[in-house]
A and B are shown apart, each in its own frame.
Chain A
Amino acid sequence: MVAEAPTRKEALLSGSNLERVLRAGHFAVTAELGPPQSAEADVIREKAEYLKGTCDAVNITDNQTAIVRMSSIGAGTLVLAAGLEPVIQMTCRDRNRLAIQADLLGAYALGMNNLLCLSGDHQRFGNHPTAKNVYDIDSVQLIQMVAEMRDEKVFQCGDAFDGQEPRFFVGAAAAPFADPVEYRPYRLAKKVAAGADFFQTQLIYDVPAFAGYMEKVRELGLHEKSFILAGVGPLKSPGMARYMVNNVPGLLVPDELIERMTEAGAEWAGKSKDELTPEDKKARAAAWKAEGIQICIELIEQIREIEGVAGVHIMAIEWEEAVRPIVEGANLLPRPTFEEASA
Chain B
Amino acid sequence: MKRVQELLAEIGLEPERVEMFNMSAAMAATFVEAATEMNQRIENLGPNPLRVPQTAGKGA
Direct contact of A and B (CB under 8 A): no
Binding site for A on B (CB under 8 A): none
Binding site for B on A (CB under 8 A): none
